[in-house]
Amino acid sequence: MKALISVDMEGISGIVHSSETNPERYDYQRGRELMTAEANAVIAGVLDAEPTADVLVADAHGTFRNLLPEQLDRRARLVRGKPRALNMLAGLDEETDAALFVGYHVRAGEGPGVLAHTMNGEILDVRVTARAQGEGAPGTGHAPGEDGQVTGRSLGEIGLNAAMAGHLGVPVVLLSGDDAACAEAAALIPEAVTVPVKEALGMAAAVTLHPEEARDRLRRAAADAVSRRTEIPPLALTGPLDVEVDLASPHTINLATLVPGVSRTAGARTVAFAAPDYGTAYRLILLLAQLATIRPA
């Protein structure tokens, strides 16, 4: 059995402020320790249920160099650093039996949610629509077909990553974070186990569990989730797909339209593209997120 544990930072118990998640801020080291301890709790839970499991842990926050390797459970292997294929899901493949999302946060524009965002501050929203047979290109205002195809759904890191796992046939069996993140996950994957480790009061405030209590709950939940992995379906978004991305910066929009197939829509902040399948869409969304980090010369 192979498991991939993707660990973000904003949804870790006890963390409520960017000073705890930013390497340049004073409280970052403490945030790293809390993050590593929660990763260890989930590793332990997976191995409680499947003692011979191959466990990979993907450091999935910011620089992807946050988890403390020397403090990580030695029974797991760590994926760290960037750039890398599949970004927050590095190490995931068709042979993976279960994905577990730890320390995740709600998408941009939702809330209250602790440190809510989607990838970075430049991405305001991502909408993915499964196109009914015969429909036109994105941005043409087509209506959903009678075959029940989904209309454009806003997705944050939870949905985008869960759908990429689903594209490879891998179910997301567990997610932890604040209560808003857990609600977002439950709306997408009702069968998944969710572990709220804090109750969001706002962007930088929460009622949080004691870290040791959070770890105990995570260990039990991870064991339960992995044991029930065959009962949890992957989140599948089948193609062809239309994607719209709202961007905060005009500079980023200008860069995005240099990418073949990406066009600006009538909306002042929106770019759109079509993709034959979700794997292609996911990689192009990651490229747009990277372009958003480029500042004008």
Cα–Cα dist 171/121, whole Å = 28
- The dihedrals phi and psi of 206, each to the nearest 5 degrees, come to -160, 160
Q: Which active-site residues does the annotation give?
A: 117
Angstrom distances, CA of residue 77 to CA of 73, 98, 128: 9, 15, 33
Q: Confirm if 105 and 6 have CB atoms less than 8 A apart.
A: no
236, β-bridge pairs:
none
How many residues does the structure list for the chain?
A: 297
Cα–Cα dist 3/44, whole Å = 12
Helices (DSSP H) in the chain: which residue ranges? 28-49, 157-167, 179-188, 211-227, 250-256, 278-291
What is the token pair recorded at 118?
């989607």
